[in-house]
Structure 1
Amino acid sequence: MQHLLRFIVILTTVLTFCEATISSACLRCICNVESGCRPIGCRYDVYSYSCGYFQIKEEYWEDCGRPGTSYKGCANDYTCASNCVRAYMKRYIGGSGCPANCESYA
């Protein structure tokens, strides 16, 4: 099963910026798909490791502003990982008329 976050990375190459906020409910849905919403550590996935609640890749963590004390530490801390996803979405989900909804974020 492909991970939602890989789709987000692909979407960011297509979409331009828009001001949007991802809801807690949407974050929880993405978290459930990625890890059962558990800090599952890191797994090798498509050329690099994906870690934590949202199976965040190191490059994604860098793009969200490097929150927390380390990449793996943040990915395995729900609050830090959620803040990372929110910052990433704010930065990349486009302004070309994209709807600011959970489907766009996924």
Structure 2
Amino acid sequence: MFVKVSWVAVTIITLFCVYTSAQIVSQVCLGCICEVSSGCNTTIGCSETVCGPFAITWGYWFDAGKPTLNSEPLSDNAYAKCVNDPYCAAAAVQNYMTKFGHDCTGNGVIDCEDYLRIHRLGANGCTGALNSKYENRFKLCLQTFQNQ
């Protein structure tokens, strides 16, 4: 796990450089969602119905407003190009959470745990149970990076 911590740190720093204003999801939260989605593997590509380090589906990307890499015009491969790029994929997550973010845990606060649940389970299914291994990796990531 901690061998991959350096990837999380690099991702968090990189995302911080890109998203320094008016963001809904913090850099640490984005980094930890990326970590639990793929180990933040930026070369993972596409498999079955998900692509990229955040494991984003075409429907998720569509609902996020179809962001494109470097704001290029939409094309047949715009989805794959965007979600396989960590910056564009992070923008898709930000857009998705801006549109669908809400309190999934019932604690009266919209926080990173809610964003993780929405990312993994969908906006309408976010009150469901997470896989315990997935949830534990996420909590360890947050504990490791939140206070830095």
Runs of 4+ in structure 1 displaced over 2 angstroms?
Answer: 94-98
Q: Is 1:92 matched with 2:100?
A: yes
Gap regions ≥5 residues in structure 2 = 1-22, 73-77, 117-148
Deviations, residues 57-99 of structure 1 (Å, cap 9, x unaligned): 0000000011115000011111100000000001001279752
Match in the other structure for 2:30: 27
Matched residue, 2:7:
none
Residue identity (%):
42
Structure whose CA Rg is larger: 2
User: What TM-score results when the alignment is normalised by the length of structure 1?
Assistant: 0.71
Q: Relative contact order (C-alpha < 8 Å, sep 6+): which is higher?
A: 1
Partner Cα separation in structure 2 for residue 79 and residue 54 of structure 1: 11
Cα RMSD between the aligned structures?
Answer: 1.9
Tell me if structure 2 keeps the 8 A contact 1:67–1:80: yes
The aligned counterpart of 1:58 is 58
What's the TM-score once normalised by structure 2's chain length?
0.52
More helix by percentage: 2
Name structure 1 gaps, 5 residues minimum: 1-19
Residues 35, 55 of structure 1: 8 Å contact kept: yes
Larger fraction in strand: 1
Please tell me the residue identity of whatever aligns with 1:61.
W
